[in-house]
Chains A and B, each alone.
Chain A
Amino acid sequence: GQQVMQIPQYQHVQEGEDFTTYCNSSTTLSNIQWYKQRPGGHPVFLIQLVKSGEVKKQKRLTFQFGEAKKNSSLHITATQTTDVGTYFCAGRYGNKLVFGAGTILRVKS
């Protein structure tokens, strides 16, 4: 079946450092979504990318969708303690959404 591989599994950064998580699919995606789950909370939708090569920004967060629509990344500039949580990508294959395993971000102040 379709799989979305997400790395790293875990990252611990100093406050103010940058952070990036990557997702890869072996087959082309219709689109990709990103979610954030705060500790003890539930996943919350952040953004969806649809077009090849698309780049979207939300304040300090930059989302990219690869040219081949098989990979995506989320980059956080100058992390803050409020960024802690697990970030999930979710790739759409037709009518099916497949989640990556998530990247746990810890920020040390």
Chain B
Amino acid sequence: DVKVTQSSRYLVKRTGEKVFLECVQDMDHENMFWYRQDPGLGLRLIYFSYDVKMKEKGDIPEGYSVSREKKERFSLILESASTNQTSMYLCASSPPLEQYFGPGTRLTVT
């Protein structure tokens, strides 16, 4: 079974803090993705990566950056957290077809 894990299920941070969200997959997938999920908006792609040290902007990259130093790990960074970044963050990894999602991190920025 594919396993995608995320470092935290719940996180509370203050405005202006730097936030790291970690995602690890154990299936040697090349493709990894970060989404945020908000009610009524579905899943919106923040960044994705098709290989180590490679990253591409998704639909809503502003305020975020990513890092992929190793194939199994894809990190999402909020350089200076803001209240409008309060959301559920989902990581996914993928062979060429379907995506496997992690459990999600519910981030609250106060």
Q: Identify the A interface with B (CB < 8 A).
A: 1, 6, 9, 33, 35, 41-45, 48, 88, 90, 96-102
CB-based contact B103/A42 at 8 Å: yes
| A-B contacts, CB under 8 A, total | 42
Given contacts A9-B40, A42-B90, A88-B42, contact A97 B99 (CB under 8 A): yes
The 6 A-B residue pairs with the shortest CB-CB distance, nearest first, are A101-B42, A45-B98, A99-B43, A42-B101, A99-B42, A43-B101
- Flag whether B100 is at the interface (Cβ < 8 A): yes
Which listed residue (A9, A48, A98, A99) contacts B98, Cβ 8 A?
A48
What string of 1s and 0s marks CB contacts (under 8 Å) between B30-46 and chain A? 00000100001111110
Distance of B8 from chain A, by nearest CB (Å): 14
Distance of B98 from chain A, by nearest CB (Å): 4
CB-based contact A43/B98 at 8 Å: no
CB-based contact B98/A33 at 8 Å: yes
Interface size class of B (residues with CB under 8 A): 10 to 19
Contacts of A42 in B (CB 8 A): 90, 101-104
CB-based contact A44/B101 at 8 Å: yes
What string of 1s and 0s marks CB contacts (under 8 Å) between B45-63 and chain A? 1000000000000010000
Alpha-carbon distance A97/B104, docked complex (angstroms): 19
What string of 1s and 0s marks CB contacts (under 8 Å) between B81-106 and chain A? 00000000010000001111111100
CB-based contact B99/A101 at 8 Å: no
Contacts of B44 in A (CB 8 A): 99
Nearest chain B residue, comparing its CB with the CB of A33 = B98
CB-based contact B43/A88 at 8 Å: yes
Alpha-carbon distance A6/B42, docked complex (angstroms): 10
Distance of A97 from chain B, by nearest CB (Å): 7
Alpha-carbon distance A45/B100, docked complex (angstroms): 7
Distance of B90 from chain A, by nearest CB (Å): 6
